[in-house]
Amino acid sequence: MPHHALQTDWLRCFVAVVDAGSLSSAAAEVHRSQSAVSMQLKKLESALGLRLIERGSRTLELTQDGQTLLGYARRILDLHAEAQMALHDEPLTGRVRLGVPDDYAAKYLTPVLKRFAPRHSGVEIELICEQSTSLIPRVASGELDIALVSRDHARRGTLLFHEPMVWVGAAQFELWRRDPIPIAVYESTSLARRSAIHSLAQQGRRYKVVYHSSSLAGQIAAVESGLAVAALTQCSTPAHLRMLGADENLGPLEPMEVAAYRSRDSRGAKAVDSLHALLVKTLRQATFT
């Protein structure tokens, strides 16, 4: 089978559909009509001889081949943009003050910074790791430029995705059988703490707070030692801890709304503009509709 060159316009439309979640939203992002985006996808699939996206009446879903191509397409487009900037654009400089809780740093922030740093080596990133309840007011006051947080109020920031919350315990300690159940929680203003206590109250389960700390490492240590069970974000839960649920008579927890907050003072700062745009583009949950 002959191999056809993959045009960057085809790849750009393909990635835009994945990131935006629909043909119509992708069309606005790449400044083309919806029919033109659809045609670009068809040309890409024809060149490869592969189906990349399954189209239903109301949904779009990546095929296995589409999943494989997506990583390569991002790398090609990143390298293309990097080459253009090196030849034609003035390099970005400046400093971005970026906040993120420990929960989200490794899984969600790392891939963003891996894409940003090689393209903008002249930008200094100051990273602050604190709980969302501490980061949000620091963005509002202008101490931070951007924060990736569990948002505390609907319609604030740019919603990216919903992060599941799970009950966890150490497999060798069946603490969930105790009455009252011992729990480890974050500080009093924590959304995770509120979610945990609300869930227990809804079930009518008695509980006792035996450990509280703003540190994720401290929460995990309390669980590992058999001191308590805890409510953690799923992305931060170590594989060796046991996820608990209905079988342990523990009810569901409300997921966290993860959003990007940005300070008003940073508007127009090119380095902040670039990182914020990449953060949103990379992490916004694809909901194919």
pLDDT at residue 288, rounded to an integer:
40
Task: List, by residue range, all CATH 1.10.10.10 domains of the chain.
Answer: 8-88
Tell me which of 27-41, 51-65, 131-145, 202-216 is least confident. 51-65
Strands of the sheet with 123-129, listed across from one edge: 123-129, 94-100, 146-150, 256-262, 158-163
Higher pLDDT pick, 119 / 223: 223
pLDDT at residue 23, rounded to an integer:
84
Higher pLDDT pick, 31 / 200: 200
- Mean pLDDT confidence for 179-198: 92
Higher pLDDT pick, 80 / 19: 80
Provide the CATH topology of domain 8-88.
Answer: Arc Repressor Mutant, subunit A (1.10.10)
pLDDT at residue 57, rounded to an integer:
61
- Mean pLDDT confidence for 115-144: 91
Higher pLDDT pick, 270 / 253: 253
pLDDT at residue 218, rounded to an integer:
93
What's the whole-number average pLDDT of the chain? 88
CATH class of 165-254: alpha beta
Identity of residue 267? R
Q: Quote the pTM value.
A: 0.70
Is the pLDDT assigned to residue 229 strictly greater than 90?
Answer: yes
35: buried, middle or exposed (CB in 10 Å: 19+, 13-18, 0-12)?
Answer: exposed
pLDDT at residue 289, rounded to an integer:
35
pLDDT at residue 144, rounded to an integer:
96
Is the pLDDT assigned to residue 59 strictly greater than 60?
Answer: yes
Decide: 93 and 66 in contact? Cβ < 8 Å: no
Its CATH architecture, for the domain 94-161+257-283, is: 3-Layer(aba) Sandwich (3.40)
Integer Cα distance of 149 and 160 in angstroms: 10
pLDDT at residue 157, rounded to an integer:
83
Is the pLDDT assigned to residue 286 strictly greater than 80?
Answer: no
pLDDT at residue 58, rounded to an integer:
64
Task: List, by residue range, all CATH 3.40.190.10 domains of the chain.
Answer: 94-161+257-283, 165-254
The band of 153, judged by pLDDT with boundaries at 50, 70 and 90, is confident
